Amino acid sequence: MPSSVMPMITPPDRHPSSAAVSASGLRKSYGDKVVLDGIDLQIPAGTIFALLGPNGAGKTTAVKILSTLITADGGRAQVAGHDLSAAPQAVRAAIGVTGQFSAVDGLITGEENMLLMADLNHLSKQEGRRVTAELLARFDLAEAAKKPASTYSGGMKRRLDIAMTLVGSPRIIFLDEPTTGLDPRSRHNMWQIIRELVADGVTVFLTTQYLEEADQLADRIAVLNNGKIAAEGTAEELKRMIPGGHIRLRFTDPDAYRTAATALTGAARDDEALALQLPSNGTQRELRSVLDWLDSADIEADELTLHTPDLDDVFFALTATVPTQSKESAR
């Protein structure tokens, strides 16, 4: 059937009117350096979107444009249904932004920072105090509330920063590297908070250097490289784009290793580690056939590990300046 007569079916969550953020052809240059070279985005309301990319790729620039802090040189974007250039005030009223670098005032206490945000958001004194107490507790800052923020650790300042963003109950939140500098427990707490926000219908646009973070949180992920979106999709879709799955067999007995290496002609050898690496799609059937073969050849590997491509592999594959190959497979 020719595509022109195909019925147009738009899944409900992809309908443009429910997009929290949509952008097309966004461009931005600094001098003759092109930072964003035509970026298209479509982020359904109530979802988490992660923007990944190497240092200097333009992630912060994209966040600043979409949150009206700077203007794009070209392209169009709508945030919360409002046009960025025609109605920046309406956009600002609907969003919260936590920048990559802290907005916390160190001279006043954590609580005072929060109350200041409540004032800026036109909350009543009573409501401001209620929201402040609730958020400080939620971010594990109640105990430190009355201390000057300058005495906070980096992680505490980061948590305060994000708590401040939530004071006005924004429907769309931009988080530029929300968990950079947080210890693993604080990072997991932050993930939990982000999930709770999304469960309440909030849309989260985050940038991150932690691929695991995108993998854990994001409904959709875009990888920014050389001014363009190099790939966009769910974590699973991105992982499927690149090869890299393998089964690794490690031996302690050099004879067993040599026997296996001779027999398994398709395997990449790591003679130093006495390890063999077989390409694998990670299916049960394939794993079983390798095990059966080892049994029939009376070879016993001391360790068998299954490696499926992770977002690190995707990131390296998509943002490589020269073609890369894993150390093992290059041997």
Ligand X SMILES: Nc1ncnc2c1ncn2[C@@H]1O[C@H](COP(=O)(O)OP(=O)(O)OP(=O)(O)O)[C@@H](O)[C@H]1O
Nearer of residues 135 and 214 to ligand X, judged by Cβ:
214
Chain centroid to CA 87: how far? 28
Stretch that binds ligand X, among 55-63, 85-93, 101-109, 116-124 (CB under 6 A): 55-63
The contact pattern for Mg ion, residues 75-104, with x = CB under 5 A and - = no contact, is: -------------------------x----
Which of 4, 10, 17, 55 is close enough to bind ligand X by CB under 6 A? 55
CA dihedral 131, 121, 191, 312 (to 10 degrees): -170
Site for Mg ion, residues 46 to 75, rule: CB under 5 A: 59-60
Nearer of residues 57 and 72 to ligand X, judged by Cβ:
57
Structural element, H or E, at residue 197: helix 184-199
Stretch that binds ligand X, among 30-38, 103-111, 113-121, 314-322 (CB under 6 A): 30-38
CA dihedral 14, 17, 21, 24 (to 10 degrees): 90
Residue-by-residue DSSP string for 29-40 = EETTEEEEEEEE
Stretch that binds ligand X, among 50-58, 101-109, 185-193, 294-302 (CB under 6 A): 50-58
Nearer of residues 51 and 274 to ligand X, judged by Cβ:
51
Sheet holding 48-52, edge to edge: 95-98, 172-176, 203-207, 48-52, 220-225, 228-233
The contact pattern for ligand X, residues 72-101, with x = CB under 6 A and - = no contact, is: ----------------------------x-
Stretch that binds ligand X, among 16-24, 49-57, 121-129, 295-303 (CB under 6 A): 49-57
42 belongs to the binding site for Mg ion (CB under 5 A): no
Q: Do 169 and 92 contact (CB within 8 A), yes or no?
A: no
Q: Is 23 helix (H, G, I), strand (E, B) or coil?
A: strand
Q: Is 286 helix (H, G, I), strand (E, B) or coil?
A: helix
**Would you tell me which residues interact with ligand X (CB under 6 A)?**
30, 33, 35, 53, 55-61, 100
